[in-house]
């Protein structure tokens, strides 16, 4: 039972107690009949006001006065709680149906398990980048905060198989498991990997032992925020120029440079082309940092005579404006043309 339901039942109980107290006092203490006692109690509590019961003594008048005050407070609050419960129930039911409809339509999306301090930042990046995702959190406050951003959320425990399936686990392309408890993260990774063998799973860890366990459970990548933060502090202290350079790079292109990947498709004009002939640097100002070939071979700082094949993944450093144009060309779209106004400053 939810807290709102308990609150409503409490005030309804108080209302019944006041009603019984008024009925009992009028019948047993003041000697009114059962029907009269019930009638006068109801007219007093509801403040209808058909007049005072005949033959009231001083004590009876004092009791009826107290009953009137109780009626104004208790009846008002009880009816308000009752109306709020049924109204909110209807609204939440409608929102639930809408959410279920949205979840059914999600495909190739990400699932964020735990939308706390870390998960919320991940969700912000995904939202800014236009990445479809659904969040899961058992904390009502975290759930409400996420819904304020109009993110698709499920209030529930991510370690439960039913909740993960409700989030579209079988159709998801990836999952980020970033709850504060390492044991919950391990169990969630195990459950997710058992149902979806191909999705990418990135998990949060707080210790080296948990990192090893998460990899064994099926995580593709494990991040320790403490270790990562410490490394960033060390780089900023000892290698400030390198740190400043990476501050210019953002996964969603908010700054001048975008660090991104692109796969050579079957319609790409770059298929079978040597890197020197691709004109990626002259046309797109792109720097190819590495090539992950379709056969699993990785080439870092590839030479100019490296041949690009279908299925190869390019790891590129490129201005955002040029990256979008490159993607269009790589899909087999129109050749991009640039004016001086397109050049990033």
Give, in order, the Cα–Cα distances in Å from 18 to each of 27, 84, 88: 14, 21, 26
Cα separation of 166 and 305, whole Å?
49
Q: What CATH number corresponds to the domain at position 290?
A: 3.30.70.1450
In angstroms, the CA 180 to CA 201 distance is: 16
Q: Which residues make Cβ contacts (< 8 Å) with residue 215, sequence separation at least 6?
A: 222
pLDDT of residue 337: 44
- Same domain for 115 and 72, yes or no, is no
In a domain, 242, yes or no: no
| Cβ contact 284:325 at 8 Å | yes
pLDDT tens digits along 90-140: 555 555 566 666 777 889 999 999 999 999 999 999 998 889 999 999 999
Confidence of residue 79 (pLDDT cuts 50, 70, 90): confident
Q: Are residues 184 and 269 in the same domain?
A: no
Residue 240 lies in a domain: no
Q: Pairing between strand 257-263 and 249-250? A: parallel
The whole-number pLDDT of residue 103 equals: 75
Note whether residue 148 is domain-resident.
yes
Predicted local distance difference test score (pLDDT) of residue 174 = 96
Residue labelled with tokens 């007219």: 43
Per the structure block, which two tokens stand in for 11?
Answer: 């005030």
| 328 & 296 share domain | yes
Q: Rounded distance, CA 202 to CA 187, Å?
A: 14
Contacts of residue 151, Cβ cutoff 8 Å, sequence gap at least 6: 115, 123, 127, 133, 135
CA gap 66, 59 in Å, rounded: 11
Residues 38 and 140 in one domain: no
Question: Are residue 30 and residue 126 in the same domain, yes or no?
Answer: no
**Between 56 and 239, residue with greater pLDDT:** 239
Q: Tell me which of 101, 132, 157 is where a domain ends.
A: 101
Say yes or no: 32 and 137 in one domain: no
Residue 157: give its domain's CATH number: 3.40.50.720
Predicted confidence at residue 344, as pLDDT, reads: 41
Same-domain status, 190 and 167: yes
Q: 114 and 222 share a domain? A: yes
Q: Is residue 40 part of a domain?
A: yes
The verdict on 16 and 95 lying in the same domain is yes
Chain position carrying tokens 């019961």: 53
Instruction: Give the helix ranges, DSSP H, for the chain.
Output: 3-24, 34-45, 58-70, 76-105, 117-128, 140-148, 161-166, 182-195, 208-217, 225-238, 240-247, 280-284, 320-330
Least confident of 40-49, 234-243, 324-333: 40-49
Expressed as residue numbers, the domain containing 311 is 248-342
Mean pLDDT of the chain: 83
To which H or E segment does residue 111 belong?
A: strand 110-113
Per-residue pLDDT at 286 exceeds 60: yes
277 and 315 together in one domain: yes
1 falls in which pLDDT band (50, 70, 90)? low
- Examine the domain organization and report whether 113 and 221 are in the same domain: yes
């Amino acid at each position: 039972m939810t807290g709102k339901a308990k609150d409503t039942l409490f005030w309804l109980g108080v209302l019944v107690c006041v009603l019984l107290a008024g009925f009992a006092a009028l019948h047993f203490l003041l000697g009114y009949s059962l029907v009269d006692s019930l009638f006068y109690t109801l007219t007093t509590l509801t403040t209808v006001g058909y007049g005072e019961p005949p033959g009231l003594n001083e004590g009876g008048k004092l009791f009826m006065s107290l009953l009137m005050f109780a009626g104004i407070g208790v009846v008002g609050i009880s009816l308000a709680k009752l109306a709020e419960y049924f109204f909110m129930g209807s609204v939440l039911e409608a929102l639930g149906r809408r959410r279920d409809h949205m979840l059914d339509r999600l495909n190739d999306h990400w699932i964020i398990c735990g939308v706390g301090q870390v998960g919320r930042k991940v969700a912000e990046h995904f939202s800014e980048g236009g990445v479809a995702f659904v969040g899961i959190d058992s904390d009502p406050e975290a759930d409400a905060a996420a819904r304020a951003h109009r993110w698709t959320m499920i209030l529930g425990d991510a370690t439960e198989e039913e909740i993960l399936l409700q989030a579209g686990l079988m159709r998801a392309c990836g999952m980020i498991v970033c709850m504060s408890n390492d044991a919950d993260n391990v169990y969630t990774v195990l459950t997710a990997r058992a149902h979806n063998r191909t999705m990418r799973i990135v998990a949060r860890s707080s210790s080296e032992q948990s990192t090893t366990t998460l990899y064994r459970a099926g995580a593709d990548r494990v991040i320790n925020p403490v270790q990562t933060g410490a490394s960033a502090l060390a780089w900023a202290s000892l290698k400030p120029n390198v740190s400043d350079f990476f501050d210019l790079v953002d996964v969603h292109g908010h700054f001048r440079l975008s660090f991104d990947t692109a796969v050579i498709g079957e319609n790409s004009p770059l298929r079978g082309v040597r890197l020197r002939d691709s004109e990626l640097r002259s046309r797109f100002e792109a720097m190819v940092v590495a090539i992950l070939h379709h056969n699993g071979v990785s080439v870092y700082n590839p030479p100019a005579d490296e041949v690009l094949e279908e299925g190869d993944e390019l790891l590129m450093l490129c201005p955002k404006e040029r990256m979008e144009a490159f993607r269009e060309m790589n899909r087999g779209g129109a050749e991009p043309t640039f004016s001086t106004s397109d050049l990033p400053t």
